[in-house]
């Protein structure tokens, strides 16, 4: 066997074996196995194409280069997940507040705060672990078993044990276990959509290529890990395993991508910093003001610390986590697995959804949609065949049922018989075994009740064939006409045998001299030929892949079954046009996204013409001002040139994973929040680099799922748009909770600040402040987190990424209603003092007024619409929360033991009337304010 040194001198190139792959290197460091012969490949890898490696050599290479599997990123431990929960600014501030509270003697309050922090952390860890476990159930090895030749024997071994130099055998339906150079290919076609985005299987060959710049989809003498052989058979030499495969290179790109904080994390971090400054300022100002007014120093210190704690909504982290967790549960019921809690909210900010075409926007199933026969076009639907205009028989009669026509029956028989695909009856639906294009033709015939299996063993057994090859662009099968000696009762075909030839229309027409038209076989004229070529061109302009069918009758099978002998003087029958059709729900989802101000961009490896047709059909491409850019065109653009046109591009076709990364980065430079959907390996880098990635759970590859924040278990693109609505609702509800908590806390702060400034003393004790802050606020805030979506949540533009969490007037409303609630507390305290009540009784009135006013404020915070329009009982959790909080407040005020703990005194009916009357003011004011706003908008 020639050594590598001899081969090096022969080719004047450098062969380099590294990390599981011997690669021929040029100056650009690309693998170029596709440029050299199979003999040179075997020599470079020191293997024998007939006997393969020995077991001993394979074991040595496995030891040296490692198993044939992707390097999995180390999962985070429970402790790491738990530690991450304590990195938020708000959580750290709460821990500090708990420590201070404990140091000043408020141990119970300190424990309550710490309990909330710990529960929040545990909930976050549980949800993240649940999501990871759900995803783990979807993971499967793409090629667990490989067929290999070792020691001259065919063996089946675990795919992870493959090494460079192994000789593997491939057959239809086999997963490709590693990157390999083909040395034999017999009608071999591979489905590479997961890697290249090309939905049509690629025909393989063994000859060296001449184009050193050939892309993955054009390297026809190579097979790639993660793809599938769908037709024929082959033999190949493994040249790359594990991370040195094309799929491994993409996985490596993913692992290098960095994670950015989500918009919600950014906003809560900003809020935490702001509240921290406010809390520190309050401690100093209130304490100094109390001392100046003659209040006891220790009591003022306690009050100041309590106010500092009150300024921080300690329930907010728990509320945010719970709201997100509930959103995850709702999405799980809709078949969407959220891997990280903030992912749903992030999707709610999306301004662009960049989606792969194959399997995401389309069904990843080639389907015949047009049939042309006897000079007439038929549309093929899920229910059958519909004529485009009137459909006439060979006698000129209008037929209501096209299946009554002999021409169509001949076409269906021919496509069903000249076919190697089979229908596979599954539990809930039929599947296809074999080439997808041939499968589409089998389904076409099955819609008319004609199945290949029945005819193969029935009246039309196959007695000969000429297989398809790319040079001829056609295949021919011979069938014996048993029974009546004719085809399905069609008198025009009455010989003992018939051959059917299907293939490229232009090639087929050049081999035909006759045509089956008008109920008879007649000569094919130049006018006929020109018209048929025009029909073929028209179908092609609709992005249809067109196949033609021709036939020939035989009294006996010719002795020489060769293309030159039998594929001539044929009778043209008709065309079938097929396409990978859009998912039926996607068009509505694209329209809904547009109404929500979200742009859908198709990013695909498929051809420009096909991508354009699908994009127009789905409403993604709507005007001439919108652009379609191909991968080669994108390659020639600088980043600056791409930035200039990116806002107008709706379709990117024939792109590579590197191109997709550039597209995502360009969109993000324009301040877009980019969501990427996809299912293939080629989608993974963009899934990881985007703000949020959504991978398909059924057709999605493991690499794509690992790269995503969300996995759609039903592969339904429409679920993405539903997730946008869910994300917007979640963010709205979190803002409502923040609005409610801060307006209440501002009220408490203002009440104490005003009374001390006026020299009236403190209207609340430290324990009363903490009680209101920790208990009375908590349940209603949680109930706001599950508030139903506002009407029209998907009829407004996404909020800006840098938009303040207080945008839309929320900051002003917090101040207004905070002042209103605070002044109501001051009013209750003042009325109590004026009536000669004790300071304790006056504080009790203020305590009760502030607590119940905050509960009624929760009703205000539910919606920008009137409470009567929204419905008082439309959120039953809110009613339960108010009832629970009110009950707790009444227990504190009515149970003698608790009255002593919280320093309250019993109130008579008159004082309760004052408390309830003041507490209802926020709801009344809120309804008036909403009515005024609505009236002004109507004007």
Residues belonging to the active site: 356
Tell me phi and psi for residue 852, to 5 degrees: -75, -30
Distance separating alpha carbons of residues 180 and 212, to the nearest angstrom:
17
Residues 6+ apart with CB under 8 A from 66: 20, 241, 242
Cα 576 to Cα 367: distance, rounded to the nearest angstrom = 10
79: tokens are 């402790």
Q: What is the DSSP code string of 579-602?
A: E-PBPTTHHHHHHHHHHTT-EEEE
* CA 654/CA 607 separation, integer angstroms: 6
CA distance 162 to 178: 8
For the CA atoms of 225, 230, 236, 237, what is the dihedral angle to 10 degrees? 10
Give the closest residue to 482 by CA, choosing from 449, 452, 445, 455. 455
* Tokens coding 454: 């029945």
**Whole-number Cα distances in Å, 404 to 8, 90, 379, 385, 408:** 67, 74, 16, 11, 8
For strand 336-338 and strand 520-523, is the pairing parallel, antiparallel, or unpaired? Answer: unpaired
Q: Are 370 and 378 in contact (CB under 8 A)?
A: yes
Q: Which residues contact 615 (CB under 8 A, 6 or more apart)?
A: 602, 621, 628, 650, 651
Q: Which residues make Cβ contacts (< 8 Å) with residue 690, sequence separation at least 6? A: 354, 664, 674, 675, 676
Helix residue ranges per DSSP H, 701-777: 702-707, 717-757, 766-771
Question: For 631-708, where are the alpha helices, taking DSSP H only?
Answer: 631-636, 639-645, 657-669, 684-689, 702-707
Q: What is the C-alpha end-to-end distance of the chain, expressed in Å? A: 90
Helix (H) and strand (E) counts in the chain: 35, 29
Contact yes or no for 778/737 (Cβ under 8 A) = no
Residue whose tokens read 């989606």: 355
Find the helix packing angle between 810-834 and 839-861, rounded to 10°: 150
- Cβ proximity of 765 and 781 under 8 Å: no
- Angstrom distance (rounded) from CA 483 to CA 494: 11
- Cα separation, 911 vs 685, whole angstroms: 66
CB atoms < 10 A from the CB of 292, how many?
Answer: 12
- 3-state class (DSSP) for residue 238: strand
Q: Quick check: helix, strand or coil at residue 658?
A: helix
Distance CA 42, CA 1 (A): 9
The secondary structure element, H or E, covering residue 857 is helix 839-861
Element spanning 156, H or E: strand 153-158
Strands (E) in 326-439, as ranges, are 336-338, 352-355, 367-373, 376-380, 385-387, 422-425, 430-433
Euclidean distance between CA atoms 594 and 619, whole angstroms: 9
- Integer Cα distance of 249 and 661 in angstroms: 14
């Amino acid at each position: 066997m020639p050594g590598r040194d001899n081969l090096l001198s022969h080719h004047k190139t450098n062969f380099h074996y590294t990390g599981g792959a011997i690669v021929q290197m040029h100056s650009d460091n690309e693998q170029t196995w596709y440029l050299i012969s199979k003999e040179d490949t075997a020599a470079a890898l020191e293997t024998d194409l007939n006997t393969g490696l020995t077991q001993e050599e394979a074991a040595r290479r496995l030891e040296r280069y490692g198993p044939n599997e992707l390097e999995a990123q180390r999962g985070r431990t429970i402790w790491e997940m738990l530690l991450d929960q304590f990195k938020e600014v708000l959580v750290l501030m709460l821990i500090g507040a708990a420590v201070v509270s404990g140091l000043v003697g408020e141990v119970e309050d300190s424990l309550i705060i710490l309990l909330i922090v710990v529960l929040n952390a545990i909930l976050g860890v549980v949800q993240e672990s649940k999501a990871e476990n759900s995803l783990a159930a979807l993971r499967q090895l793409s090629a667990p078993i490989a067929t290999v030749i070792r020691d001259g024997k065919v063996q089946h071994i675990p795919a992870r044990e493959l090494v460079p130099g192994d000789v593997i055998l491939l057959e239809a339906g086999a997963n490709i276990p590693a990157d390999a150079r083909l040395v034999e290919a017999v009608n071999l076609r591979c489905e590479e959509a997961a890697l290249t985005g090309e939905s049509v299987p690629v025909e393989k060959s063994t000859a060296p290529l001449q184009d050193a710049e050939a892309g993955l989809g054009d390297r026809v003498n190579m097979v790639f890990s993660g793809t599938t052989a769908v037709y024929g058979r082959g033999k190949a030499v493994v040249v790359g395993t594990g991370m040195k495969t094309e799929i491994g290179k993409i996985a490596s790109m993913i692992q290098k991508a960095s994670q950015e904080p989500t918009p919600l994390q950014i906003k809560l971090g900003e809020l935490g910093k702001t509240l921290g400054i406010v809390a520190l300022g309050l401690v100093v100002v209130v304490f100094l003001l109390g001392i100046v007014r003659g209040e006891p120093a220790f009591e003022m210190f306690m009050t100041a610390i309590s106010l500092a704690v009150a300024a921080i909504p300690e329930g907010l982290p728990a509320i945010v986590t719970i709201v997100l967790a509930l959103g995850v549960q709702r999405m799980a019921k809709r078949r969407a697995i959220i891997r990280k809690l903030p992912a749903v909210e992030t999707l709610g900010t999306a301004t662009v959804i960049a989606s792969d075409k194959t399997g995401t926007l389309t069904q990843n199933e080639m389907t015949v949609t047009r049939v042309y026969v006897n000079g007439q076009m038929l549309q093929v639907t899920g229910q059958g065949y519909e004529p485009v205009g009137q459909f006439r028989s060979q006698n000129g009669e209008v037929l209501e049922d096209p299946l009554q026509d002999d021409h169509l029956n001949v076409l269906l028989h021919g496509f069903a018989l000249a076919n190697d695909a089979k229908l596979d009856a599954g539990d809930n639906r039929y599947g296809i075994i074999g080439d997808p294009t041939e499968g589409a033709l089998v389904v076409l015939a099955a819609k008319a009740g004609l199945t290949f299996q029945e005819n193969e063993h029935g009246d039309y057994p196959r007695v000969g064939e000429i297989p398809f090859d790319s040079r001829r662009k056609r295949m021919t099968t011979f069938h014996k006409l048993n029974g009546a000696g004719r085809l399905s009762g069609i008198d025009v075909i009455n010989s003992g045998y018939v051959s059917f030839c299907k293939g490229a229309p232009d090639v087929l027409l050049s081999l035909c001299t006759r045509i089956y038209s008008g109920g008879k076989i007649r000569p094919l004229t130049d006018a006929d030929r020109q018209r048929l070529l025009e029909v073929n061109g028209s179908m092609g302009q609709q992005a249809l892949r067109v196949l033609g069918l021709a036939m020939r009758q035989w009294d006996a099978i010719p002795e020489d079954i060769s293309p030159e002998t039998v594929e001539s003087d044929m009778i043209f029958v008709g065309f079938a046009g097929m396409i990978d059709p859009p998912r039926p729900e996607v068009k509505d989802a694209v329209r809904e996204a547009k109404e929500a101000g979200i742009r859908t961009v198709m990013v695909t490896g498929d051809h420009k013409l096909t991508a354009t047709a699908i994009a127009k059909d789905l409403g993604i491409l709507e005007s001439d001002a919108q652009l379609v850019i191909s991968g080669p065109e994108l390659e020639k653009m600088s980043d600056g040139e791409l930035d200039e046109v990116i806002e107008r591009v709706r379709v990117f076709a024939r792109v590579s994973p590197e191109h997709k990364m550039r597209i995502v980065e360009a969109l993000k430079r324009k301040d877009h929040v980019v969501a990427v959907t996809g299912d293939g390996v080629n989608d993974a880098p963009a899934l990881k680099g985007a703000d949020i990635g959504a991978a398909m759970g059924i057709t999605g590859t493991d690499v794509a799922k690992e790269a995503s924040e969300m996995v759609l278990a039903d592969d339904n693109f429409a679920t993405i748009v539903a997730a946008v609505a869910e994300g917007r609702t979640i963010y709205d509800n979190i803002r409502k909770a923040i609005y409610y908590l801060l307006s209440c806390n501002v009220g408490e702060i203002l009440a104490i600040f005003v009374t001390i400034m006026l020299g009236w003393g403190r209207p609340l004790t430290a324990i009363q402040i903490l009680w209101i802050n920790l208990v009375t606020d908590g349940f209603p805030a949680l109930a706001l987190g599950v508030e139903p979506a506002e009407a029209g949540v998907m009829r407004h533009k996404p909020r800006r990424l840098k938009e303040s969490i207080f945008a839309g007037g929320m900051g002003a409303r917090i101040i207004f209603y905070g002042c209103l609630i605070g002044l109501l507390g001051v009013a209750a305290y003042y009325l109590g003092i004026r009536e000669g009540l004790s300071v304790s009784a006056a504080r009790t009135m203020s305590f009760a007024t502030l607590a119940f006013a905050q509960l009624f404020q929760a009703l205000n915070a539910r919606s920008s619409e009137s409470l009567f329009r929204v419905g008082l009982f439309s959120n039953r959790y809110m009613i339960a929360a108010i009832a629970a909080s009110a009950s707790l407040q009444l227990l504190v005020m009515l149970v003698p033991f608790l009255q002593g703990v919280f320093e309250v005194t019993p109130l008579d009916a008159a004082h309760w009337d004052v408390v309830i009357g003041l507490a209802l003011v926020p709801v009344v004011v809120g309804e008036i304010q909403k009515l005024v706003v609505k009236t002004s908008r109507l004007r």
